[in-house]
Amino acid sequence: MRPAGFQAGPGRTTVARVATHRGVVDPLASRPAVARLAGSDDALISRPEALGQGLSPDDVKRLVRGGLWVPVRRGWYTTQERWSLLDPDRGRPLLAITAAHRGLRRPHVISHSSGAVVLDLPILRPRDGLIHVTKQGSPRARVRHGIKHHQARYRGDQILMVEGLPVLGLARTALDIAREFGFPAGVCAIDAARQRGVSPAELAEARAAMWHWPRVRTADDALAFSDPGAESLGESLTRILLGELGLGPIETQFELRDATGWARCDLRVGRQLVEFDGLIKLRPPERGGVADREPEEVVAAEKRRQDWLSGFHLGVSRVTWDELWGANRERTKLRLRREYDATVSRFGSSIADLAPYVVRRRP
């Protein structure tokens, strides 16, 4: 499978384009190393490779300062044109992971948050800025040159090859993220893995090997709280917020249908529905969204949908991305608690009367 963000064919940089970058012909463009990089499909070259192909250290600096080459990570470069074509959220990190992989000699696999990039698994973006790899051995870790080298055991059947990169599979990657980055990140990763079809049995099998590993209890908590019904990071984080309020049980993708309409809601607690509102619903596909009509039409349709749901004596709360962080988070929790309590006081918490209209999902 070809990862998002990579371009082939027309996206390839040509020597002529490099030579006339910024309107100035650069004599370095005719050097074999520069020409080879410009014509390469992956457009990656290491500093030792560049020096071995006739460039001097000053030549490399000049190529970078002149904007012809871009440092991908320590000692690795690509062309400016290739870099500009890559998606900042996945394509560029994936190229950096590829460079790190090529620079390591000891056998390893891509893992943790870097594994999620390779597998295209939606996760909370970590703040460490590190590339993560795992090598065979007793559990420990060290950081060197922007790479965190984890040591842990893994089986050969847990390794996938994606775009030429050896990466641990979805179940192991999600659990490693929980151990490394904590409960919220772990819930989001495990939710996303289950949404992709990873079964509880696969997760349990991956967990069984971690019985004495660091922070495995955090992975246990995230696994117990996970839900395959979460369809986005925002829904996972909103569910965590409801859990912090002590509300439950929480049902994902609650669905109602009658002769007048149909609706599926992100979350339900008692008779309170909670919807995560992301901008993806308002953006057209060409801007990364899913809207098939104008924003005002989307908003009007959502208003009609909420009115229809309210007709079943259900409360509706809405949460946006900004309300999940910082000081806004605590205010959002207070608001949700107030709205939940108001719904309970008006309609109670049982939905037994809605049985004729509830659409049950298959396991």
Angle (CA) 220-361-120 rounded to 5° is 55
Q: How many residues are present in the chain?
A: 363
Q: Give the pLDDT band (50/70/90) at residue 268.
A: very high
Residues 217-223, mean pLDDT to the nearest whole number: 98
Query: Cβ distance 319 to 332 under 8 Å?
Result: yes
- What confidence score (pLDDT) does residue 20 get? 45
Give the start-to-end residue ranges of the domains of the chain.
9-85, 104-225, 233-354
- Quickly count: other Cβ atoms within 10 Å of residue 217's Cβ: 10
Average pLDDT across the chain, whole number: 89
Bridge partner residues of 131 (DSSP): 147
pLDDT at 275 over 70: yes
Global pTM exceeds 0.95: no
Question: Tokens at residue 246, please?
Answer: 């002590």
pLDDT at 197 over 60: yes
Q: Which of 44-53, 58-67, 108-117 has the highest mean pLDDT?
A: 108-117
Q: Which CATH superfamily is domain 233-354 in?
A: VSR Endonuclease (3.40.960.10)
Please write the tens of the pLDDT for every residue from 120-176: 999 999 989 999 999 999 889 999 999 999 999 999 999 999 989 999 999 999 999
Q: Which residue has the higher pLDDT, 32 or 190?
A: 190
Q: Give the pLDDT band (50/70/90) at residue 19.
A: very low
CA distances from 280 to 6, 46, 231, 292 (A): 22, 38, 13, 11
Q: Give the pLDDT band (50/70/90) at residue 5.
A: very low
Residues 261-277, mean pLDDT to the nearest whole number: 96
Residues 184-209, mean pLDDT to the nearest whole number: 97
Q: Which residue has the higher pLDDT, 244 or 24?
A: 244
Q: Which residue has the higher pLDDT, 281 or 259?
A: 259
pLDDT at 9 over 70: no
Least confident span in 27-36, 115-124, 258-267, 351-360: 27-36
Q: Give the pLDDT band (50/70/90) at residue 291.
A: low
